[in-house]
A = this chain, B = another copy of it.
Amino acid sequence: MGRAGLTPERLTLAGAELADEAGFEQVTLSALARRFDVKVASLYSHLKNSQELKTRIALFALEELADRVADAVAGRAGKDALTAFANAYRDYARAHPGRYDAARFRLDPQTAAASAGVRHAQMTRAILRGYDLAEPDQTHAVRMLGSVFHGYVSLETAGGFSHTNVASQESWAWTLDALDAALRTRATP
């Protein structure tokens, strides 16, 4: 009887793929075991429980998303950086809806603190350097940007924008314009 070559990393990646194909809520140890043609109990040698699998997928997605965003904003500033950040974020959610969902998975505080979520906040602050915002305005702006990006892609992927014939892409561009303008007028002299 050959070995399937299970490792936490391979299980995490397969779980991420499964999430994109069938939705994050369909990520179960049973489904994962089927995918590797192995019995469910075998997975417990590599994962503490199903919670750990989901947490690992979440952390993996956060890293991957942070990498893409970092790549997109490198060498850009101002509205250019804002747009690159926002598009990288939205593109990731559209290309990997299951992983994006996973990135929203509730992590316990210490896991969250050690996650790439911190990089996300840092990159958002980096974007805002082009807008000359002093504290606490900068924190307010970080929260507003995070809210718009997350809210938009959540509603979009949930199909919320498909009932009118105005293209979502245009609303996205319009929203980024409005955000850029709002941030510029709030620059502290």
Contact = CB atoms under 8 A, between A and B. Distances in A.
Interface stretch (A33-41, A64-72, A150-158): A150-158
Q: Is the interface of A mostly helix, strand, loop or mixed?
A: helix
A120 to B, nearest CB: 10
Contact of A139 (B113, B166, B178, B181): B166
Interface in A120-179: 135-137, 139-140, 143-144, 146-152, 154-155, 158-161, 163-164, 166, 168, 170-171, 174-175, 178-179
Given A136-B166, A140-B166, A151-B154, A146 B160 contact: yes
Contacts of A160: 146
B104 A174 contact: no
Contact of A150 (B151, B171, B174, B181): B151
Nearest to A178: B182
A6 B32 CA distance: 39
A148 to B, nearest CB: 5
A175 B147 contact: yes
Give 8 closest A-B pairs by Cβ, nearest first: A151-B151, A147-B151, A140-B174, A147-B152, A139-B166, A150-B151, A140-B171, A178-B182
Given A147-B148, A147-B175, A148-B148, 11 more contacts: A106-B158, A139-B171, A140-B175, A143-B152, A143-B168, A143-B175, A144-B152, A147-B151, A151-B151, A179-B182, A181-B182
